[in-house]
Structure 1
């Protein structure tokens, strides 16, 4: 599916849609309604049918929510989206900085009393409990209701029905039967009879299948119940599963339609494990209504899925080399385009996005993009998750930076890479910031740490060079990445809020940045995988971990103030560029090879 460049909702559509929703709330006697960017499966990425937040407000970010009240409507967004939201929403919506402002506190300030509705299929128990705790002692209450947006959205798309296909065992590294048995054994050891699975990527990982229900993510939307005898009941549209996939699932996996999910919950014998951070509150309500004993516990697939096995890592390495070759062809082409721009030619962000996608498709192995390409020229680069449209499309200009964040979905792996390049002579302040960002990225790349530490323990190391200059960035340093699954995968992260210990096999991004509103954005991103650190002479006898870099593409030397780098930092970059030349050089065209040799020269 080619990337498109049209906005889903324009600001002029916001006021009438907001008025229609308020009228529906008044009929139900509700003083407000919470509109999250979520679906019943609680994944980060949603199908077109579930883009309720974007339909109402025009905001297309991957995280956030809106609270609609009679006289105000707040759109809650984190630091990644504070520039983007102002460009996308109409004046009838008020951006609210989140998580600095908590939803319960905002409701206390903006609503004297009344009932605020929410769809229990679109919120976790944890989310609602937090808001209710913030409202304690205040005469505002929350009430689960049928979603009123579905009643006022006249052309809401139908539920997705993409085909489910088997994922080969040689790429998965373990049979689905072995996974089911391993997780069922853990349930028995914990004294649990079953576990509810709601995350699409967990379902796909467990059963070694892939799908096409969500753009850019090869997942199957559905619910599942894993029983302690290794049986799995799957609740998804049967039409998704053809004869080959049904045969692949085998006799111990039962397919049932989505409508059978709630009745099946009522028949379970507890204790049933439910993940309070990912299962919809409606699941909890149904189990409680049926008096089925439940216990809180992690989705049983999340950590096993995050800890990639040797086969998955080997396949991912292959995917990154292929993708790296496509990116090098693109960067060579882009350098020529930048020279043309400096000579007076017009090249736009959309031209760049189409060019990059063309090089990936030329591999003849691209399944899809892994997300909509972020391509920000000049000030658009300061919008962290900027997505170009026909209305915002900006020409490249001499003396500016271009930020390109992109990735591919291949059958053997998922890629995600960001490169920031100079168009002509870059401004001095941009080179200074770029060098600091590079120092932070190198610090993470070179890191060794004692086993047991989490992302929150490492995140500051990437920020240290920026902090010394009074600068920072409003996003995490890295997210988890799947193996031909979601490009954003939990629970592992490089973030000050992540408490999940990093384990060998976890794949993460390493992407510090810096963004100056109205001027430029900088981000440098490689994917890395956690490995056992090799022993060092004289080191303590303690388990240490390290990162292996998976991404191979040059970093723009024109933006680096080499005298600011330490000898170790220069040594890392020169060694990395030597690896890029050695591994990618034989895979690209002669013209790109000559460009690559110049781009990877030692500093």
Structure 2
């Protein structure tokens, strides 16, 4: 009898764990009588560590496949044929092939032409690395995409969820599954030197070999009719009224930084750095105003390697002094894009030390191919000084970011008002309808150049995917019984925006209210933080998560990242995450802009996320121990959803902050909405920003809160 009770208890435990943590991905057909609760959970963990914990991929029966799943059987077969062809490789066969997410410039967001990893795996997220061997295929991705990847990649693939315990690295997995003397093929232009060295270091002591291939195997099997067209639109100059500094000043600042490093030249490969340095913008990358190009900068010359046909606008050449008869130190000398590979060989003989960008947070640094084209004794691997120069916004950029976010907030308010009107009229709305509407409202704003990333509109269980993007196959109708997470951002000539709000068109459950309120508390706690200038970024993350940690909850993505000024929506060197090694090395500086985006995700049910953009400001009236003190200034002004706020959880200080924030929304966005005669948005905004009572609720002990903050600072700094 006891044995039977243990068996039933174990089976229930196993199914419960699957449902709560992974959405019941398997059908349990038989459980041994000797199974215990610990053994059940251990088996689940072992499957996760082996990459075998997959949705609808049970070895027993034939489960219905998710509608987002892509069949990659033929693609993998064709790729493996190329891997074993010495004629195609021009070298001995390889036993594994690595496919990254990036282009030649290690961009995080690439156009359809460059999405090799997505084609071979079916996974469309912005981050992930795929390894294909002769009999296995495996994908590694982080917590933003665990659920999405599991639904998109088919059962040919193993899924390794980075961020969970005991998940093997790519190197660990290769050591275990590769044959002796196995060869691992990589495209050196699509792999950063940082990643190459990391793999080589981790494989040291094994017989495995990294092989740089002259061909891209995915390109060989990718039918042209299924592949996007490489973007090649005309470039344009960002005027000094928006950039705040002439490119000549930026160039001289960079040269001074190079001299500090002992370098007499630098190769610049990151597109956002080139855009900032030359005040030039393009449309070669989705959602970011970048021009596909390389730059070599020395103490007397600057060479721009680009598709010259994209510089037909005489204003571009004139601003860059490219057509000047007299070559000056700020004359940008134009070269064909592919000439970079020849010139690196030649020019590396002219310089003693060439700074070659290394890894920094979201910036992968230069590719392995760039490093290999420079003589080893001339290389100076360093983090690009441009990363830190452009992260600190000048006065014009700061004002531009503030103004862009006000106009963007007005567009979002007006759109939300229209959505609520449609829902109250019981109109049928799908996720893709909302994406289209939100994009249209943003495009109508002055100075808009489109989105800063693909709009996220996730309803109900889809909202539990942190970076969910609706497709034709996953598009669901919006009802009034769950949450709708909307994350979007815009590119404006004077700034870049990123805002997330969670809506509910009916009556939310108490669980939804508590989750929303705890996420809001985290956002408020981080927004109101005052801290010494030497505090590490990782410390700030604790305040954003504390309210969720209090009840045993958390989220797997970072709380914040840097954001550019009419540049990338994800910018180094800023990352706010308590477990990030880099976050423990970086500090905030006045003029930095970053996101504040805590969240909560109940898989299979609903999701909550909120995001604002904040500016790092100095508080000069506070001085202690030789340190200046800093704080944050919120520049996003979109109301929160009152019906989702559980006021009893908010302290007096948090209620006061919310009232002050709502007052700013009414003043700044209200004025903008009236100026644009968007009165529906104005009245909606006024309704959502009503004053709330500041007394009552959970009063936090200010002394305890201060001491808690002090402990974090003393422990982490």
C-alpha displacement of 1:524: 0.5
Match runs of 1:558-597 below 5 Å: 558-588=643-673, 589-597=678-686
SS at match of 1:79: coil
Q: Does 1:98 align with 2:180?
A: no
Residue 500 (structure 1) shift: 2.0
- How many Å separate the matches in 2 of 1:61 and 1:453? 32
Aligned to 1:14: 72
Q: Is residue 161 from structure 1 mapped to residue 243 from structure 2 by the alignment? A: no
Cα distance change, pair 191–542 in 1 and its aligned pair in 2 (3 A): closer
- State how far apart, in whole Å, the 2-side matches of 1:504 and 1:139 are: 49
Partners of 2:551 and 2:591 in 1: how far apart?
34
Distance in 2 (alpha carbons) for counterparts of 1:158 and 1:454: 43
Taking the aligned partners of 1:135 and 1:142, their CA distance within structure 2 comes to 9
Query: In the alignment, which of 295, 320, 340 is matched to residue 261 of structure 1?
Result: 340
Counterparts in 2 of 1:578 and 1:117: CA distance versus 1, 3 Å: same
In the alignment, does 2:201 pair up with 1:133? Answer: yes
Is 2:359 the counterpart of 1:295?
no
Task: Pick the aligned partner of 1:356 from 422, 431, 438.
Answer: 438
Q: Aligned partners of 1:413, 1:453: CA distance in 2, in Å?
A: 27
How far apart, in 2, do the equivalents of 1:340 and 1:115 lie? 62
Match runs of 1:436-585 below 5 Å = 436-496=518-578, 497=580, 498=583, 499-536=585-622, 542-585=627-670
Q: How does 1:184-203 map to 2 (within 5 A)?
A: 184-203=255-274
In structure 2, what is the Cα distance between the partners aligned to 1:555 and 1:539?
A: 36
* TM-score, normalised relative to structure 2: 0.80
Q: Which residue of 2 aligns with 1:239?
A: 309
Alignment correspondent of 1:405: 487
Displacement of 1:158 in angstroms is 4.7
Structure with more contact order per residue of length (Cα contacts < 8 Å, sep ≥ 6): 1
Q: Return the offset for 1:337.
A: 2.8
Displacement of 1:157 in angstroms is 4.0
Instruction: State the alpha-carbon separation in 1 of the partners of residues 256 and 480 from structure 2.
Output: 61
* Cross-structure match for 2:28: none
Q: How does 1:61-460 map to 2 (within 5 A)?
A: 61-98=125-162, 100-113=167-180, 114-145=182-213, 146-155=215-224, 156-229=227-300, 231-242=301-312, 243-251=314-322, 252-266=331-345, 267-268=347-348, 269-277=351-359, 278-288=365-375, 293-341=378-426, 345-460=427-542
SS at match of 2:633: strand
Instruction: Give CA deviations for 1:335-392 in whole Å, capped at 9, x if unaligned.
Output: 2233234xxx421111211221222123243211111100000000011111111111
Alignment of 1:17-36 (within 5 A): 17-28=75-86, 29-36=93-100
In 2, are the aligned partners of 1:338 and 1:424 still within 8 Å (CA)?
A: no
Deviating more after overlay: 82-91 vs 98-107: 98-107
- Unmatched 5+ residue regions in structure 2? 1-66, 87-92, 323-330, 360-364, 693-717
Equivalent pair of 2:79/2:218 in contact (CA under 8 Å): yes
Shift of 1:423: 2.1
Assess, with a 3 A threshold, how the Cα gap between structure 1 residues 47 and 354 changes in structure 2: closer, same or farther: closer
Runs of 4+, deviation exceeding 6 Å: none
Secondary structure of the 1:475 match is coil
> What does residue range 53-64 of structure 1 map to in structure 2 within 5 Å?
53-64=117-128
CA contact (8 A) 1:64 1:78 kept: yes
Return the offset for 1:492.
1.2
Contact 1:272 1:292 in 2 (8 A): no
Change (3 A) 1:115 1:494: same
Q: 2: distance between equivalents of 1:583 and 1:521?
A: 29
**Cα contact 2:435–2:455 (8 A) shared by 1:** yes
What is the DSSP-based 3-state SS (H/G/I as helix, E as strand, rest coil) of the residue aligned with 1:418?
strand
Q: Which moved more, 1:415-424 or 1:255-264?
A: 255-264
CA distance in 1, matches of 2:275, 2:573: 16
In the TM superposition, residue 196 of structure 1 has moved relative to its aligned partner by 1.1
Distance, in Å, in 2 between the alignment partners of 1:112 and 1:457 is: 44
Q: Distance in 2 between matches of 1:260 and 1:124?
A: 20
Q: How many pairs are equivalent?
A: 588
What SS is found at the alignment partner of 1:479? strand
2: CA distance between counterparts of 1:253 and 1:365?
A: 27
Matched residue SS, 2:338: helix
Contact between 2:447 and 2:494, CA under 8 Å: does it hold in 1? no
Cα distance in 1, alignment partners of residues 223 and 445 from structure 2: 41
TM-score, normalising length from structure 1? Answer: 0.95
SS of 1:423's equivalent in the other structure is coil
CA contact (8 A) 2:620 2:628 kept: no
Q: 1: distance between equivalents of 2:162 and 2:542? A: 21
- The answer to whether the Cα contact below 8 Å between 2:70 and 2:152 also exists between their aligned partners in 1 is no
CA separation in 1, counterparts of 2:635 and 2:73? 46
| 1:370–1:406 CA contact under 8 A, matched in 2 | yes
Deviates more, 1:585-594 or 1:46-55: 585-594
CA pair 286-331 structure 1, distance change in 2 beyond 3 A: same
8 Å CA contact 1:494–1:508 kept in 2: the answer is no
Are the counterparts in 2 of residues 38 and 50 from structure 1 also a CA contact under 8 Å?
Answer: yes
Q: Following the alignment from structure 2 to structure 1, what is the Cα–Cα distance between the partners of residues 497 and 268?
A: 26
How far apart, CA to CA, are the structure 1 residues paired with 2:110 and 2:618?
35
What stretches of structure 1 of length at least 5 have no aligned partner? 1-8
Report SS of the residue matched to 1:443: helix
In 1, Cα distance between the equivalents of 2:515 and 2:369? 47
Are the counterparts in 2 of residues 185 and 228 from structure 1 also a CA contact under 8 Å?
Answer: no
In the TM superposition, what is the alpha-carbon distance from 1:294 to its structure 2 partner?
1.2
Q: Distance in 2 between matches of 1:167 and 1:577?
A: 34
Distance 1:300 1:47 in 2: 27
- SS of the residue corresponding to residue 192 of structure 1 reads coil
